[in-house]
Amino acid sequence: MATELHQAETSPAGDLYFELVRAFPLRPIRSAEDHGRAIATIDALSDRRPELRPEERDYLIVLALLIERYEEDFYPMAPEVGEPSSSTTS
């Protein structure tokens, strides 16, 4: 994975985003394996955060949203103390 991301760094700016998408396509995450790969991709990009180009930042944001959605669906957090649960009616 890191090799794929390193290769993407040397691509022309217009192709960089699509190199990232080829390495890890932006589509709904549906398995623990995909989730793990998405986290690894985020980690690799985050390690270079100050140097990221705009298209890498855009990719990072969208991938983070996909991860967040997966985690909300498959690993819901319990409501905090004092916060009404979703089963409580108003």
Proportion of the chain above pLDDT 70, given as a percent: 76
3: pLDDT confidence band, cut at 50, 70 and 90? very low
Neighbouring residues of 41: CB distance < 8 A, sequence distance ≥ 6: 1, 5, 23, 24, 63
User: What global pTM score does this model have?
Assistant: 0.69
Alpha-carbon gap, residue 1 to 70, rounded angstroms:
21
Alpha-carbon gap, residue 51 to 56, rounded angstroms:
10
